[in-house]
C-alpha cells in the first residue's frame, strides 16, 4: 500500500538494514543467549555488540544499558527503582505533559501514598522551571521530565535541570523516547541518572526498548526473574529485536545531522505551507525549541478526526490531538495543559517526519490538505456561523 507516512512519533518503519541484521536471529540462529553452548553464545555475542551500539548513540558505557520490551517498561522500571531505593521519600516531580507511560503511572502512585507535583507549561508548551525548582524538597524521591514532548515536539532543557539537581540526592529520570534518534543525546554531559529509550521510535521493531542507568545509581529490577541483563531485568532476551535495535541506533546515529537539516527543512516547508494556505491555522509549540521532525497545527472549528479520515483517503498518515473517550472527542492533556482553546485543540493535527519522507510528499500534503480543511469547514456549524471566519 502506497502511503505518505508522517506519523513517525507514533511509530517508525523498520529500516531495511535493521531487518537484514535481525533475520538470521529469527531463523537460523535461534539459540538462547544464556546457554552454555556456542550456538547460544553466538547470539549472546551479538547482544553484547548491540549493547555497545545503543550505548555509543548516547555516549554511555555498555554496562549502563538494560534492554527492556518498550519505552513504557523502561519508564516503569526507572520509577520503581527510584522509589524502592528511597522508601522513606514520598514526593515525585513530573510535568503536566508527560506521555501516559509516565502520567498514568504517577496518577496511580498519587492514589497510593505519593505526593506528585505536576510542573505546568505555558501556551507554547515551555516548562515552568521556577515552579519545578521551587518544589524540590528533602522528600523528593524522583524528578521525571521528558526530553521532548511527543505531541508538540517541544524540547525541555534537560541539561539545565540536571545541573540544578546535581548537588541534591534526587534521582533524575528522563523519558527520552522521542529525543533519542532525533537529537544528539550525551548522557555523560547531562549527568542524569536514568533515561528511557524505545526501539520502534527509531526504526527498530516494536517490542524492544532500553533503559540507561548511570553507574552508581541505586537500582532494583522491575521484572524479577532470571539473571539476564546482569540481574537487572529477568526474562529471556528478545535477541533478534535487541540486535535490530543495536543496528537501528548505529543507523540513526549517522542520520542525526540529516534529521537536523533535510528533515527539519521538509518539516518547515510543510508547516509554512499549511500556515500560509489555510486561514485560522495555528502552530502548537514553541517554534524554535522543537524536535526537527515535528509540527502540530490546529485547524480551528473542525475536528481532527475528520481531517485524519479525509487525509487517509489520500494515503496521508498523521495523528490528531484529540481522542475518543466515552463517545465524545476530548482534546489531549498536552494541548489542555498548554491552554489551547477548545475550538483549536479539537482540530489539531501532528505531522512527524523521518528521513524516509521526501519533498514531493510534503508538497502533496501542502497542496491537498487546504481543500480538505475548506470542505470540512463548509460543513461545520461553528464555521458557518461566520463569527469566527477570517476573510
Pick between residue 289 and residue 310 the one whose CB is nearest to ligand PLP.
289
**Pairing mode, strands 281-283 and 294-299:** antiparallel
The neighbouring-strand residues paired with 174 are 195
Three-class DSSP labels, 185-231: CCHHHHCCCEEEEEHHHCCCCCCCEEEEECCCCCCCCCCCCCCHHHH
SS3 for 55?
helix
Cβ burial of 380 (10 Å; 0-12, 13-18, 19+) is middle
Q: What is the DSSP letter of 65?
A: E
Say how far apart CA 240 and CA 81 lie, in whole Å: 27
Cα–Cα distances in angstroms (integers) from residue 303 to residues 185, 325, 344, in the given order:
36, 14, 9
Pick between residue 101 and residue 373 the one whose CB is nearest to ligand PLP.
101
Closest approach of ligand PLP to the CB of residue 229, in Å: 17
Cα–Cα distances in angstroms (integers) from residue 237 to residues 39, 43, 79, 291, in the given order:
15, 10, 22, 31
> Closest-CB residue for ligand PLP?
71
Closest approach of ligand PLP to the CB of residue 221, in Å: 18
Pick between residue 178 and residue 357 the one whose CB is nearest to ligand PLP.
178
Say how far apart CA 71 and CA 343 lie, in whole Å: 32
Cβ burial of 11 (10 Å; 0-12, 13-18, 19+) is middle
The alpha helices in 313-358, defined as continuous H runs, are: 333-337, 342-345
SS3 for 48?
helix
Closest approach of ligand PLP to the CB of residue 235, in Å: 16
Closest approach of ligand PLP to the CB of residue 107, in Å: 15
Closest approach of ligand PLP to the CB of residue 181, in Å: 12
Pick between residue 101 and residue 349 the one whose CB is nearest to ligand PLP.
101
Pick between residue 280 and residue 295 the one whose CB is nearest to ligand PLP.
295
Say how far apart CA 231 and CA 226 lie, in whole Å: 7
Point out which residues bind ligand PLP (CB under 6 A). 70-72, 99, 101, 146, 150, 175, 177-178, 198, 200, 209
Closest approach of ligand PLP to the CB of residue 65, in Å: 16
Q: Taking the C-alpha atoms of 81, 82, 88 and 89 in order, what is their torsion angle to the nearest 10 degrees? A: -150
The neighbouring-strand residues paired with 95 are 119
Residue 324 appears among annotated catalytic residues: yes
Pick between residue 190 and residue 280 the one whose CB is nearest to ligand PLP.
190
Pick between residue 50 and residue 177 the one whose CB is nearest to ligand PLP.
177
Closest approach of ligand PLP to the CB of residue 190, in Å: 17
Where in the sequence numbering do the catalytic residues fall?
324
Amino acid at each position: 500500500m502506497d502511503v505518505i507516512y508522517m506519523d513517525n512519533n507514533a511509530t517508525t518503519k523498520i529500516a531495511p538494514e535493521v531487518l537484514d541484521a535481525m533475520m538470521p536471529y529469527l531463523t537460523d540462529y535461534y539459540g538462547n543467549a544464556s546457554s552454555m553452548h556456542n550456538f547460544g553464545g553466538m547470539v549472546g555475542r551479538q547482544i553484547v555488540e548491540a549493547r555497545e551500539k545503543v550505548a555509543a548513540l548516547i555516549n554511555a558505557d555498555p554496562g549502563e544499558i538494560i534492554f527492556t520490551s518498550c519505552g513504557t517498561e523502561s519508564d516503569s522500571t526507572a520509577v520503581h527503582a527510584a522509589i524502592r531505593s528511597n522508601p522513606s521519600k514520598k514526593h515525585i516531580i513530573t510535568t503536566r505533559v508527560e506521555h501516559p507511560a509516565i502520567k498514568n503511572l504517577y496518577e496511580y502512585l498519587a492514589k497510593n501514598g505519593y505526593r506528585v507535583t505536576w510542573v505546568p507549561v505555558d501556551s507554547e508548551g515551555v516548562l515552568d522551571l521556577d515552579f519545578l525548582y521551587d518544589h524540590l524538597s528533602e522528600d523528593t524521591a524522583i524528578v521525571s521530565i521528558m526530553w521532548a514532548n511527543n505531541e508538540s515536539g517541544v524540547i525541555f532543557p534537560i541539561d539545565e535541570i540536571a545541573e540544578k539537581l546535581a548537588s541534591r540526592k534526587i534521582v533524575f529520570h528522563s523519558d527520552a523516547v522521542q529525543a533519542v534518534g532525533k537529537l544528539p543525546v550525551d548522557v555523560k554531559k547531562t549527568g542524569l541518572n536514568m533515561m528511557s529509550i524505545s526501539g520502534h521510535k527509531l526504526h527498530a521493531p516494536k517490542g524492544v526498548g532500553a533503559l540507561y542507568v548511570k553507574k552508581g545509581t541505586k537500582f532494583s529490577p522491575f521484572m524479577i526473574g532470571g539473571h539476564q541483563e546482569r540481574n537487572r531485568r529477568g526474562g529471556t532476551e528478545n535477541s533478534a529485536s535487541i540486535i535490530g535495535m543495536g543496528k537501528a541506533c548505529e543507523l540513526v546515529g549517522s542520520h542525526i545531522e540529516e534529521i537536523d537539516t533535510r528533515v527539519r527543512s521538509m518539516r518547515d516547508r510543510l508547516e509554512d505551507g499549511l500556515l500560509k494556505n489555510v486561514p485560522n491555522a495555528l502552530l502548537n509549540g514553541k517554534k524554535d525549541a522543537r524536535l526537527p521532525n515535528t509540527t502540530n497545527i490546529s485547524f480551528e472549528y473542525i475536528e481532527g478526526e475528520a481531517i485524519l479520515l479525509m487525509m487517509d483517503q489520500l494515503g496521508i498518515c498523521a495523528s490528531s490531538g484529540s481522542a475518543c473517550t466515552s463517545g465524545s472527542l476530548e482534546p489531549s492533556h498536552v494541548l489542555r495543559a498548554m491552554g489551547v482553546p477548545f475550538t483549536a485543540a479539537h482540530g489539531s493535527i501532528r505531522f512527524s517526519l523521518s528521513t524516509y519522507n521526501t519533498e514531493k510528499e510534503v508538497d502533496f500534503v501542502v497542496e491537498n490538505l487546504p481543500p480538505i480543511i475548506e470542505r470540512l469547514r463548509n460543513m461545520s456549524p461553528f464555521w458557518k456561523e461566520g463569527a469566527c471566519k477570517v476573510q
